Amino acid sequence: MKNRIEITAAEFCSSVRDGTHDSPKKVLDGGKPLVTTKHLKNGSLDISSTYNISNEDFEKVNLRSKVDKWDVLISMIGTVGEVFLVSDEPNYAIKNLGLFKVGNELNSKWLFYYLKSQHGQNQIKLSLQGSTQQYISLKSLRNLLIYIPETEKETKSIVSFLSLLDKKIELNQKMNETLEEIAKMLFKSWFIDFDPVRAKAEKKPTGLSKEISDLFPDSFEDSELDKIPKGWNVGKISENFETILGGTPARKNKNYWQGNLGWINSGKLNDFPLNIASEFINEEAVQGSSTKLANRKSTLIGLVTEMKKDLITFLDEDLYINQSIVAIQPNKNIFPEYVYLYLKANSIRLYSEQSGGAQQHINKGTVNNFKILLPDEKCLSKVNYYFESIFTKICSNARENIVLNNLRDALLPKLVSGQMKLSDAKSLTKEAEI
Could you state, in chain order, the average pLDDT of each consecutive group of 10 residues for the chain (434 residues)?
89 96 92 94 88 95 94 94 96 96 95 94 93 92 95 95 95 97 98 98 96 97 96 97 98 97 95 96 98 98 80 97 98 95 96 75 95 96 96 97 92 91 84 66
Which residues make Cβ contacts (< 8 Å) with residue 272, sequence separation at least 6?
176, 180, 313, 314
Distance CA 273, CA 24 (A): 37
Sign of CA dihedral 335, 340, 341, 343: positive
Are the C-beta atoms of residues 187 and 341 closer than 8 Å to each other? yes
Residue 51 is given by DSSP the state: E
Distance CA 49, CA 186 (A): 28
Q: What is the pLDDT of residue 358?
A: 61
Distance CA 416, CA 405 (A): 16
32 C-beta neighbours (distance < 10 Å), count: 21
Which residues make Cβ contacts (< 8 Å) with residue 133, sequence separation at least 6?
77, 78
Distance CA 217, CA 89 (A): 50
Distance CA 17, CA 21 (A): 12
The amino acid at 124: I
Q: What is the pLDDT of residue 276?
A: 96
Distance CA 125, CA 55 (A): 36
Are the C-beta atoms of residues 99 and 84 closer than 8 Å to each other? no
Are the C-beta atoms of residues 18 and 65 closer than 8 Å to each other? yes
Distance CA 216, CA 190 (A): 9
The amino acid at 168: K
Are the C-beta atoms of residues 343 and 312 closer than 8 Å to each other? yes
Sign of CA dihedral 181, 186, 191, 192: positive
Are the C-beta atoms of residues 407 and 432 closer than 8 Å to each other? yes
The amino acid at 45: L
How far out from the chain centre does Cα 165 lie?
Answer: 18
Are the C-beta atoms of residues 291 and 257 closer than 8 Å to each other? no
Please name each of the domains of the chain with its CATH number.
4-150 (3.90.220.20), 233-374 (3.90.220.20)
Task: Please tell me the pTM assigned to this model.
Answer: 0.87
DSSP 357-393: SSS-B--HHHHHH-EEEE--HHHHHHHHHHHHHHHHH
153 C-beta neighbours (distance < 10 Å), count: 9
Q: What is the pLDDT of residue 278?
A: 96
**β-bridge partners, 94:** 35
The amino acid at 16: V
DSSP 299-349: EEEESB--TT---EEEB-S-EEE-TTEEEE---SSS-HHHHHHHHHHTHHH
Q: What angle do CA 290, 316, 178 make, to 5 degrees?
A: 135
Residue 129 is given by DSSP the state: B
Q: Is 103 helix (H, G, I), strand (E, B) or coil?
A: coil
Distance CA 102, CA 87 (A): 12
